[in-house]
Amino acid sequence: MSRIVILGAGISGHTAARYLSKWIGKQHEIVVVSPNSKWNWIPSNIWVGVGQMTEEEVTFELPPLYKKEGIDFRQAKGVAIHPEGNAESKTPYVVIEYTEAAKAGMQESITYDYLINATGPKLNFAATQGLGPDNGFTVSVCTPSHALEANEKLQEQIAAMEKGAHRTLVIGTGHGMCTCQGAAFEYIYNVEHILREAGVRDKARIIWLSNEYELGDFGMGSVHIERGGYVTNAKVFSESLMVERGIEWITRAHVTKVEAGKIHYELLDGSYHEIEFDFSMLIPPFTGVGLKSYDKKGEDITTQLFAPNGFMKVDADYTPRPYAEWSAEDWPKNYQTPSYRNIFAIGIAFAPPHLISKPMQSANGTPINPAPPRTGMPSAAMAKAVARSISDMIKGADKPTHTASMAEMGAACVASTGAHAFRGSAVTMSVFPVVPDFAKYPNYGRDLDLTFGEIGLAGHWMKYLLHHTFIYQSKMKPGWALLPD
Mean pLDDT in residue range 271-300 = 97
What is the C-alpha separation between 21 and 382, in angstroms, rounded? 16
Average model confidence (pLDDT) across the chain: 93
DSSP letters spanning 395-445 = TT-SS------TTS--EEEEEE--S-SSS--EEEEEESSSS--TTTSTTTS
Burial class (CB within 10 angstroms; exposed 0-12, middle 13-18, buried 19+) of 342: middle
Return the bridge partners of 414, or none: 428
Q: Which pairs with CB-CB distance under 8 Å and at least 24 residues apart come from 88-95?
A: 90/296, 92/340, 92/342, 94/5, 94/7, 94/33
- Check the CA dihedral 65-70-73-78 and report its sign: negative
Helix residue spans in 118-177 (DSSP H): 144-162
* Domain covering 3-123+286-394 in this structure, CATH number: 3.50.50.100
pLDDT 10s digits, 73-97: 999 999 999 999 998 999 999 999 9
Does the pTM exceed 0.75?
Answer: yes
Cα–Cα–Cα angle for 414, 415, 418, rounded to 5 degrees: 120
pLDDT at 34: 98
Q: Is the pLDDT of residue 376 over 90?
A: no
Res. 38 pLDDT band, cuts 50 70 90: very high
Check: CB of residue 466 under 8 Å from CB of residue 423. Answer: no
SS3 210: coil
Parallel/antiparallel/unpaired status of strands 343-345 and 114-117 = parallel
pLDDT 10s digits, 147-193: 999 999 999 999 999 999 999 999 999 999 998 888 999 899 999 99
SS3 310: coil
pLDDT 10s digits, 408-419: 998 877 777 765
Q: What are phi and psi of 418, to 5 degrees?
A: 75, 155
pLDDT at 374: 86
pLDDT at 416: 72
Q: Is the pLDDT of residue 350 over 80?
A: yes
SS3 231: strand
Query: Pick from 318, 385, 286, 401: which is nearest to 345 by CA?
Result: 385
Return the bridge partners of 139, or none: 281
